[in-house]
Amino acid sequence: MIEQFGYVAAFILAGILFMAIVLTLARLIRPNRPNEEKLSTYESGEAPVGNANTRFNPRFYVVALLFVLFEVELVFLFPWAVVFRDKSLTAAAAGWSAFALVEMLIFVGILALGLAFAWKRGYLDWEKPEIKSTDIESPVPTEAYDSFHKS
């Protein structure tokens, strides 16, 4: 029984050793000629503007995770759709197509429930920035602004 773990350990060790050899060999073979242009920050072909260490809204991560979740759903749906279209499977088993359809509807339903849960909990809502009004001396009376906004 313990020898089976030895096989797994040998494969893991061989994989780590292979990666170490390949990466070391690549480092020795590749050219290394850095210059100012190569060492500069690349930002979609444009010169970078501002500091790269700025903070941004962490809700981007939630949206990215939901995107990945539904992309994985498509990875599961595509092979199912290809097999579901096969007429020979439908001819071989009478209830197979109905079973496959119900199974996939359950799968999509569970994902829809997860999306509804995230929506209900407010994970998809963006924080609205607080607009600060500034007091500006204007020659136009405030009644003119009020009448303009009412019409």
- Per-residue pLDDT tens digits for 42-75: 767 677 677 767 777 777 887 888 888 888 888 8
Domain residue spans of the chain: 59-120
Handedness of CA 144, 146, 147, 148 (dihedral sign): positive
Query: According to the model, what pLDDT value does residue 12 have?
Result: 95
Residues ≥6 apart with Cβ < 8 Å to 49: 43
Query: According to the model, what pLDDT value does residue 3 have?
Result: 80
- Positions of the chain with pLDDT lower than 50, given as ranges: none
DSSP 140: S
Please check whether residue 100 is in contact with residue 85, taking contact to mean a CB–CB distance below 8 angstroms.
no
Please check whether residue 146 is in contact with residue 76, taking contact to mean a CB–CB distance below 8 angstroms.
no
pTM, entire model: 0.46
